[in-house]
Amino acid sequence: MNYVGIDQSLSSTGVTIMIEGKEPSFHSITPDKENNRGVRRLSFISNSVLSLIKDIKGDFIVCREDYAYGGKGNVFSLGELGGCIDMKLYESINRYSSSNVRYYSIPINSWKLLIFGNGAVKKDTEYLLKVYNKTGIQFKCDDIADSYMIMLAIQKMHNFDFSKLSIKEKFGMISSDVRKKNKITEVNIKNIERTKFIELVNKTLDEYLIFSGGKK
């Protein structure tokens, strides 16, 4: 299976593409002066993401970071950007792709739990060092680093060895809504059996799914 991670940003969108059997490729989409405002910026970034993804051969899974609903700053512009990327990929994949594609969004605290074991890791001056300690890859840009970790998180949710998962990883694989409905806590999650855990992860993936498509 091939995987794509997207960390959408108005200034430097990061994209990681993992083709099965190959090393990951990393991409930064940075609008130039002509395309760094308004609709032109949204169009430039979303079309650039599409151009990176549209020629992937074989089935693949795409995941972008979900919105920071309690965030500050350019949250509305970032929401517009996420919607533009979603729509571009939806239309292209369902019209032209012969691949089976699943497209997800994952909350920031969930993928951080899966990668760091802490959903509240901040982007401070040591952030990229923390990324290196967890991934073994030295990134120069946190948007690209985040796209890689988002890709790793959704990959892990589809391919995991239950017996080797830590409590934090198990907790991060289950959404807050699914945990609440099933009364899952960090204390009792260690008692969940494999079959039940897989059921909860699948419910979480259904919650995170934006669309699935491709020509059959």
- The per-residue pLDDT for range 151-164, each reduced to its tens digit, is 999 999 999 999 99
User: Position of tokens 């699914």?
Assistant: 178
**What are 12-54's pLDDT values in tens digits?**
999 999 999 999 999 999 999 888 889 999 999 999 999 999 8
**CATH architecture of residue range(s) 2-158+209-213:** 2-Layer Sandwich (3.30)
Residue 149: both structure tokens together:
């970790």
Report the side by side order of strands in the sheet with 101-106.
25-29, 13-18, 2-7, 60-65, 101-106, 209-213
What pLDDT, on a 0 to 100 scale, did the predictor assign at position 76? 85
Instruction: Name 47's Cβ contacts closer than 8 Å, sequence gap at least 6.
Output: 88
Average pLDDT value for residue range 64-74: 75
Whole-prediction pTM: 0.93
What pLDDT, on a 0 to 100 scale, did the predictor assign at position 96? 73
Q: List the chain domain ranges.
A: 2-158+209-213
DSSP H/E element including 210: strand 209-213
